[in-house]
Amino acid sequence: MKKIIIDQDNSGERIDKFLTRGFFLNTKMSRGEIAKSIKAGNILINGQIIKSSYILKTHDLLEINLVKKKLELAPNKKIKFKIIYQDENLIIINKPAGLQVHSAKLFCDYGANPSETLVNGLLYKFPEIKTVGDKPENRPGIVHRLDRDTSGIIVVAKNQKTFLKIKKKFKKREVKKTYWALVIGNLGKLGKQGIIDRPIARAANYKKQVIAGEKTKTKKRSAITRYKILKVWNNFSLLEVYPQTGRMHQIRVHLASLGCPIVGDKKYCPKNISKIKNISKQLLHAKKIEFKLENKKYKFEAKLPEDFQVFLNYLDESAVKS
């Protein structure tokens, strides 16, 4: 445990901002990770558990008890996912909504060794990917990711050579990704297609992403999303979406910024309209992916989840009856 007496130069600052500078930690941590450690009682002020918004005072006794745990991923045969395609280099997965791709960083007690992520299931079926990737101890073989509640295609590399080549293609934006999204509202009023070009940044509380403005203090990142309207009902629009950049929650934030949040999105949909009958997951699906590797063109498509298709059928039936 480290003990620090706060001096006058550091008083008046929020404790989470103070600790993100990493001066007194064994490793650099995000504000989110620090907030969880504070809540868990691993960071104390004068022997007391405080909030991450606590303002430091001169002579405060700061006690830090953080131990980074080594992550050891365990194979798990109970993890269910559909394999669309595989060869000696690639695995193409149709990830179900609700399944986390990989664990977050592990610190202290709030990061108990996870065993129910996609990578746990992948390690059971494909143990050869254990050493593949830029951080194989955490996300072996994973070239890109989807949000926990987003379903659809994920590309997994079976070897390091393939991993590096595909990662480079993602970085150079040579991979075409196509999503289907059902949103609340008639987006057709803005035209049959459109481009959303709005920078994104983390919210001040670090709990979600926001459209960055002039007064945004967190790091701003450019974000561009193209979309095409496939079908419109009374108060819903089905979109085909093509993200040109790959920011966290990009599609969800961009569509919500137009006043048309994704159906079932608990984070970016206003609470008064977030609950829709029989919908428990957000209806955002990574439907297609296209790329070229070793002079061979690859194109894959993932079938819509059953609940997504059932709701589309319901909208069609309701429209006929009305």
Q: What is the CATH number of the domain that holds 6?
A: 3.10.290.10
- Please tell me whether residue 281 adopts helix, strand or coil conformation: coil
Residues 182 and 321 in one domain: yes
Cβ count within 10 A of residue 23: 9
Supply the range of the domain harboring residue 48: 2-64
Residues 185 and 303 in one domain: yes
- The DSSP secondary structure of 91-150, one letter per residue, reads EEEEEPTT--SS----BGGGG-----SHHHHHHHH-GGGGG-SSSTTTSTTB-S---TT-
Tally of structural domains, the chain: 3
Residues 86 and 166 in one domain: yes
Question: Residue 35's closest CA among 115, 100, 108, 101?
Answer: 108
Residues 179 and 315 in one domain: yes
The conformational region for residue 200 under phi > 0 = left, psi -120 to 50 = alpha, else beta, is beta
Residues 141 and 243 in one domain: no
Residues 207 and 193 in one domain: yes
User: Looking at the predicted structure, is the pLDDT value of residue 123 above 60?
Assistant: yes
Pick the catalytic residue: 147, 197, 307, 316? 147
Residues 167 and 216 in one domain: no
147 catalytic, yes or no?
Answer: yes
Residues 284 and 310 in one domain: yes
Confidence class for position 191, pLDDT limits 50, 70, 90: confident
Residues 227 and 109 in one domain: no
Residues 104 and 161 in one domain: yes
Q: What is the CATH number of the domain that holds 103?
A: 3.30.2350.10
53-69: per-residue pLDDT in tens?
999 999 999 998 876 55
Q: What is the pLDDT of residue 106?
A: 43
Question: Which helix or strand (DSSP H or E) is residue 47 part of?
Answer: none
216-242: per-residue pLDDT in tens?
888 899 999 999 999 999 889 999 999
Residues 155 and 189 in one domain: no
pTM above 0.85, yes or no: no
Residues 54 and 146 in one domain: no
Q: What is the pLDDT of residue 229?
A: 97
